[in-house]
Each structure stands twice: as C-alpha cells, then as structure tokens.
C-alpha cells in the first residue's frame, strides 16, 4: 500500500510547525509499548515492524499533500521544509514475531522531534493492529495444535486492514490465506474452497461438484452444506471423489460451514472412510475462534483444516491494542508523563530491556527494564510495589532492543513473513505453558533496574504538585 507522510494526525503537523518556528529542533526519544495484553491473555506477538521500516525508508509528503496543507493554513517556510521531509532517525526494537508483554518498551525511536512526531500515528496504527491480529492468530494456532489454519477474513475485515491482518495472521501461525493480494505481496501461501453461490447457480449440486472438479482437480475442496450435508452434499462429494480417482486425481477435501461441526465432522469422516476416501480432508468454517476450535478438539472432531475469518481479522472481542508512544528523553534530558493512575506513569530515559532466560534457555517469566547505559542488572523491582523484587544474577540476560534502523536506513536484511513466523514459533516455544492458557494466565513479571527506578522517582518528585 502507498503511504505518504500525510498519513498522520493533524496535531503532529501543528506541533511540528511550532518546533520548526522555534528552532533549534530538539532530539527526542520515544517509547512504543502497550498497557494490557489483548484478549485477557498472558502475552502478545509483536508484528508490523518490517512494514513500518519499509515505509519509513521512503516516506515523503506528496505534492498534493503539500498543497492540501497550504490550503489549511500552514506557513510557507514550514511547507518548504516538509517538501524535503525524510525520516532520518534511529530505531531500536524487539524483533518482529517476538513474544512481548505490557508496560515495557517494545520499540524506541530516536530522531529530531518533528520527524519522531510525524511518524507516530502511522507507527502506532501499523504496530497496534498487526500485533493485535498476530496475537489472536497465535491463540487460534494454540487451540488448533498441528491442524492447518486458513485465513478467510478479508471480506469481514475493517476495510484495507484485511491486507495487514493476513500478514499478521501468518506471523501468528496461520498456514495460508484466501487474500490474494496479501499472498502475492508477502509471499504467503494462498488457498481456498468454493462458495454456496457456485452450487446455487446450478440446478443440480452433483453437476456443480463435477464441473468444479473437472476444471480445478488440484486442491479441490467441495462445500457440502448448501442443501443437506449428510444426505446430499457428502454423498455427491463422494461420487465426485470416486470419479476423480478414475481420472487419476484426488479430491483434497470437503468443507462444512454450518450446523454442529463436531457431530457433522465425525459423521463425515466415517462416510468418507467407509468409501475408502481416508485421504479426503475435512475443512470446517463458520464463526470459529480459539474457544470454538479448542472445544471442537476436546469433542474429538476430526477436522483437518480450520477456516477462520471474522474473529481473526477483527481481533474480536478486542477492538484495538492499546499501544502508546511516549516521550522519554529530550535533548539528552529525561522526560516523564505523570498520571493519577500510577500504572500510566511513563518511564524516562533511553532504555534497554533484558529478558531472563533459565539454564535451559526457556523464558523464566521476567523482563527487566534498565537505563540504556547500564550493563549488568543484578536486581529488578516491581514498578510500583517496592516489596516485590527479583535477584537476576542466576539468569542469562538477553537484550531485546536491537538497532533496526539508523539515519533512516534499515540495518538488518529484509525478513520474509515465513522467517518471521518461524522466529515467532521458536520464541513462543520458550514461553512456559502457564502464560499461554486462556483463563487467568500467569502474569509475566516486568521490573525496573534500581537506577531506572531511582531516576523515575526523582522525576515524579520534581513534577509533583
Ligand atoms: N460442536 C460444536 N461445539 C461448539 N461450537 C460449535 C460446534 N459446532 C458449531 N459450533 C459453533 O457454533 C456457532 C453456531 O452458530 P450458528 O447457530 O449461527 O450456526 P449454524 O447453526 O450453522 O447456522 P447457519 O446455518 O446460519 O450458519 C458457530 O460459531 C460454530 O462455529
Ligand atoms: O465465519 P467466518 O469465520 O467469518 O469465516 C468466513 C465465512 O465467510 C464465508 O461465508 P459467506 O456467507 O460470506 O460466503 P459463502 O457464500 O461463501 O458461504 C465462509 O463460508 C465462512 O462461513
Ligand atoms: O475459500 C473459501 O472457502 C473462503 C474464502 C473466503 C471466505 N469464505 C470462504
């Protein structure tokens, strides 16, 4: 998709005009983080980074953006500056696909404050959405275990969000998408079955299946619930599967899209097996999510492929990830945002986040936030409850924020969606099961180093009325 630098909120530009007029423009550090895990879960999957970096590398205002801003009261000399606008900042970030947790920096932007503000809206828009959907996808993957997952959501997505949802779904563990454009652009496997309309357009269901199988013998999946699944759709599909065998082809599957999917999939499996069609797979769809799939597995439903649409690409029931972008340093000086709600007090300074690994390389369940300049963190304390602390000497500590962009250019080679998905899977495998359960998951610990906590407390005291 084509983004220009006007893909931002107006207030970023009105603030930027003032920064420009009152030169010199200062150097800012902003933190990206979210406050709550989506879906009341125990973790999130960080997604959208590669898209953000790719857009930032070439971000510009178009000439029509400039004339729009001219008509809306922006000063001539500021518009001259915007004509040459480029993002020339540096970004430190967690790796895309990593397992991340609330209230710790996931990404840090260092740039002149005009550039840092103008990119804020796009960065939040992309990271919040893709992280939400990748997390949903990962939960669905957790329920589906090793079965195949197909994203069918584009038609129900929030407009063009469907494009990024398909990418994020692949990062979170989906195997394939019905979304042709996303599959083409991101090199994701594309697949699909057939719609009810195809069968309805024929007088006869059997003829519809025959034609489909003749013209699409490879990866042929027949939708069997248009009239009556067990009495019509499935017997017709079995007839066509046998005809395909005589042509040297194999029916890939049948799709169930209504009714009791556990009951129907068991009956379907039996009828297919009785017809010596053990290789024909069962695809199920219809308002699936992680809970329905978990229940279907528990009921022993022999479903091989789950097609998931609405609940995946809209991140249902969570409308958005609450990711924010907060100023933590300006011209080398720490900055803080206070709040009545202690959880919302921001953390000053440029920082590093360390993940604690146990002797087996598994995540222990704690990330420590420290000043960037600190090197060895021996203890972390809870951000607000001073009675809670953890000694860190026994852990291997992994620094999570790595430089991914310098002076506006990416510092790491492009990673494909498949590579990011594989990385995500390997990271999730290091997270103990108790953080992955859907109900009351274990709470992952986030702590502050002594020095950072001291700096924060000093600034809180300084700004308190
Ligand atoms: N065995 C099952 N256990 C738990 N949930 C199921 C089972 N079978 C289907 N579901 C889910 O229950 C919901 C059923 O919704 P609904 O009643 O609208 O579907 P339907 O009976 O197929 O109706 P329609 O023909 O309008 O699609 C869906 O979310 C579906 O995925
Ligand atoms: O239920 P979701 O998880 O959102 O999955 C996608 C749904 O979209 C399609 O239905 P639709 O009625 O749009 O088209 P159809 O005529 O092909 O069934 C498909 O058959 C699924 O039921
Ligand atoms: O390929 C399918 O079966 C499909 C694709 C999109 C939406 N519903 C179904």
| Domain pair 10-133+318-463 / 134-313, same fold | no
Question: What is the overall mean pLDDT for the chain?
Answer: 97
The pLDDT value recorded for residue 450 is 95
- Supply the ipTM of this predicted assembly: 0.97
Summarised one tens digit per residue, pLDDT across range 151-163 is 999 999 999 999 9
Q: What is the DSSP string of 222-276?
A: EE--SS-IIIIIHHHHHHHHHHHHHTT----EEEE-SS-HHHHHHHHHHHHHHTT
Burial of 427 (0-12, 13-18, 19+ CB in 10 A): buried
Rounded to whole angstroms, how far apart are CA atoms 188 and 190? 6
Model confidence, pTM:
0.98
SS3 state of residue 338: coil
Rounded (10°) CA dihedral 18, 19, 21, 27: 180
Q: Which two tokens stand for residue 263?
A: 């009951």
In the predicted model, what is the mean pLDDT of residues 14-35?
Answer: 96
| Nearest Cα residue to atom 29 of ligand 1 | 287
197 C-beta closer than 6 A to ligand 2: yes
- In this structure, which topology does domain 134-313 adopt according to CATH? TIM Barrel (3.20.20)
Domain boundaries, the chain: 10-133+318-463, 134-313
Where do we find the tokens 């960065």? 123
Q: What are phi and psi of 309, to 5 degrees?
A: -120, -95
Residue 308 has pLDDT above 90, yes or no: yes
- What backbone phi and psi angles, to 5 degrees, belong to 93? -150, 155
CA 409 → CA 59, 107, 183, 305, distances in Å?
A: 11, 16, 26, 41
pLDDT confidence of residue 168: 99
CA 58 to chain centroid, in Å, comes to 23
Specify the pLDDT at position 36.
97
285 C-beta closer than 6 A to ligand 2: yes
- Which tens digits make up the pLDDT trace of 171-190? 999 999 999 999 999 999 99
In degrees, rounded to 5, the angle at the alpha carbon of residue 405 between the alpha carbons of residues 34 and 37 is 15
Ligand 3: residues whose CB is within 6 Å? 152, 155, 178, 192-193, 307, 309
Residue 215: other Cβ atoms inside 10 A: 8
How far is residue 183's CA from residue 164's CA, in Å, rounded to a whole number?
11
Residues 432-440 have a mean pLDDT of 97
Kindly give the interhelix angle for 76-83 and 63-71, rounded to the nearest 10 degrees: 160
Q: How confident is the model at residue 23 (pLDDT cuts 50, 70, 90)?
A: confident
Of 144, 233, 261, 262, the residue with max ligand 1 atoms within 8 A of its CB, to mutate for a pocket test, comes to 261
Average pLDDT over residues 65-87: 97
How many contiguous H segments (helices) and E segments (strands) does the chain have?
15, 21
- Give percent of the chain with pLDDT exceeding 90: 96
The secondary structure element, H or E, covering residue 306 is: strand 305-308
Answer whether residue 313 shows pLDDT above 90. yes
Please give the Cα distance from 322 to 129 (Å, whole number).
Answer: 10
Residue whose pair of structure tokens reads 């980074």 in the numeric block = 49
Task: Give the per-residue pLDDT at 340.
Answer: 85
- Mention the CATH class of domain 10-133+318-463: alpha beta
Length of the chain, in residues: 465
How far away, in angstroms, is 11 Cα from ligand 2 center? Answer: 40
Q: Which ligand sits nearest to residue 300's alpha carbon?
A: 1
Residue 341 pLDDT > 90: no
Torsion region of 398: left, alpha or beta (phi above 0 gives left; psi -120 to 50 gives alpha): beta
Give the pLDDT confidence score for residue 103 in this predicted structure. 96
- For residue 286 and ligand 2, the question of a CB distance below 6 A is answered with yes
The answer on pLDDT for 1 being more than 90 is no
Residues 48, 126 contacting (CB under 8 angstroms)? yes
The average pLDDT across 346-352 equals: 97
Q: Is the shortest distance between the CB of 308 and ligand 1 below 6 Å?
A: no
For residue 201, the SS3 value is: coil
Ligand 1 atom 24: residue of nearest CA:
258
How does pLDDT run across 362-412, given as a tens digit for each residue? 999 999 999 999 988 999 999 888 889 999 999 999 999 999 999 999 999
**Which atom of ligand 1 is nearest to 299's Cα?**
1
pLDDT tens column, 264-276: 999 999 999 999 9
Q: What is the pLDDT of residue 385?
A: 87
**What pLDDT is recorded for position 175?**
98
With a cut of 90, say whether residue 28 has pLDDT above it. yes
């Amino acid at each position: 998709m084509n983004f220009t630098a006007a893909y931002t909120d107006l207030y970023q530009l009105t603030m930027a005009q003032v920064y420009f007029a009152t030169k010199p423009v200062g150097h800012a550090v902003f933190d990206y983080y979210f406050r709550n895990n989506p879906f009341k879960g125990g973790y999130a999957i960080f997604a959208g980074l590669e898209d953000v970096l790719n857009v930032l590398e070439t971000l510009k205002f178009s000439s029509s953006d400039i004339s729009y801003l001219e008509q809306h009261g922006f000063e001539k000399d500021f518009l001259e500056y915007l004509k040459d606008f480029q993002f020339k900042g540096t970004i430190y970030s967690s790796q895309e696909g990593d397992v991340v947790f609330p209230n710790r920096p996931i990404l840090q932007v260092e740039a002149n404050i005009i550039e840092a503000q103008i990119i804020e809206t796009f960065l939040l828009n992309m990271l919040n959405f893709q992280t939400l959907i990748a997390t949903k996808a990962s939960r669905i993957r957790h329920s589906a275990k090793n079965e195949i997952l197909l994203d069918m959501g584009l038609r129900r997505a929030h407009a063009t969000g469907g494009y990024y949802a398909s990418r994020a779904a692949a990062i979170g563990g989906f195997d394939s998408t019905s979304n042709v454009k996303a599959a083409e652009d991101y090199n994701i496997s594309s697949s699909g079955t057939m719609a009810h309309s195809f069968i309805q357009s024929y007088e006869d269901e059997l003829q519809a299946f025959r034609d489909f199988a003749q013209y699409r013998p490879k990866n042929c999946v027949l939708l069997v619930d248009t009239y009556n699944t067990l009495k019509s759709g499935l017997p017709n599909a079995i007839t066509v599967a046998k005809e395909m065998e005589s042509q040297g082809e194999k029916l890939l599957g049948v799709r169930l899209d209504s009714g009791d999917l556990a009951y129907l999939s068991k009956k379907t499996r039996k009828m297919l097996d009785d017809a010596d069609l053990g290789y024909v797979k069962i695809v199920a769809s219809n308002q699936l999510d992680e809970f329905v799939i978990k229940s279907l597995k528990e009921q022993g439903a022999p479903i091989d492929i789950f097609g998931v649409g609405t609940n995946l690409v809209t991140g249902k029931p969570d409308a958005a990830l609450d990711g924010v972008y907060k100023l933590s340093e300006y011209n080398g000086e720490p900055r803080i945002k206070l709040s009545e709600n202690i959880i919302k007090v921001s953390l000053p300074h440029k920082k590093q986040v360390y993940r604690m690994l146990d002797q087996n390389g598994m995540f222990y369940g704690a990330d420590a936030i420290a000043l960037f300049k600190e090197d060895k963190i021996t203890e972390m304390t809870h951000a607000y409850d001073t009675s809670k602390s953890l000694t860190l000497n026994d852990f291997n500590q992994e620094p999570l924020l790595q430089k991914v962009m310098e002076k506006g250019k990416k510092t790491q080679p492009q990673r494909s969606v498949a590579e990011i998905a594989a990385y995500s899977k390997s990271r999730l495998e290091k997270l103990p099961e108790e953080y992955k359960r859907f109900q009351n998951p274990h709470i992952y610990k986030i702590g502050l180093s002594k020095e950072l906590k001291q700096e924060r407390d000093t600034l809180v005291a300084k700004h308190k009325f």
